[in-house]
Amino acid sequence: MALDQSHVIQAFIQLSILVFSLSLHEFGHAYVANRLGDPTARMLGRLTINPLAHADPIGTILFPLIRFLYPGVLLFGWAKPVPVTPENFKNPRRDGALVAAAGPTVNVLIALVSLLALIILVNSQFFDLDATSQGILLDFFKFFFWLNFALAVFNLIPLYPLDGSWIIKALLPGPLSYQYSRIDRWGIWILIAGLYLGFLDYFFQPAIKGLVIVLHLLGMDNLIALL
């Protein structure tokens, strides 16, 4: 498939948004871990939003770029995981869950900021933008929103190595948590199968429906149509 210049530029913009979002996600893990008494990430230079500290050449750059250039290709990305030493926590189970939840929480916050930007663009004449410029900005923030929404939902799936697995293990009683951990060795293979067979939609579809319901209850039906 031939790639025109505008499509290549769009792919690199999307890649930049992904790298930025993943870097903030990992920074969230490092920040909360440090606040809860584990300096491991800080000592290894991961308490930063600098993408160079978090980017994986394959998972953060190559695979996502291929995906953005060729949307039909089923690939997903990742960043370098933030190292954590649970023994440094006062309450390893609880604090480990809080560290795990910090990454998706950051993505939710970014998504909310993107929604705010969309609301301002649609309802304010302050910027006095022409239709083309406004359309470009709307597409930019829509992508920002949906990417971070997807990152939050995906990372909350309760399968290793995703953040949701650590949260669910902390919530389960000890014996059940141990039994649940036994499927960790299969987690990545289940995720890959879910990507190609489509059953990850069982997580995304309810999340999207929940988003629509919340926006409707807040009287933001015009925003629903925009998204």
- Active-site residue set: 26
Are residues 164 and 99 in contact, defined by beta-carbon separation less than 8 angstroms? Answer: no
User: How far apart, in whole angstroms, are the C-alpha atoms of residue 11 and residue 9?
Assistant: 5
**DSSP one-letter string for 52-86:** HHH--IIIIIIHHHHHHHSTTS------PPPP--G
DSSP assigned state of 88: G
User: How far apart, in whole angstroms, are the C-alpha atoms of residue 139 and residue 103?
Assistant: 24
Q: Report how far apart the first and last C-alpha atoms of the chain are (Å, whole number).
A: 28
Q: What angle do CA 88, 151, 53 make, to 5 degrees?
A: 55
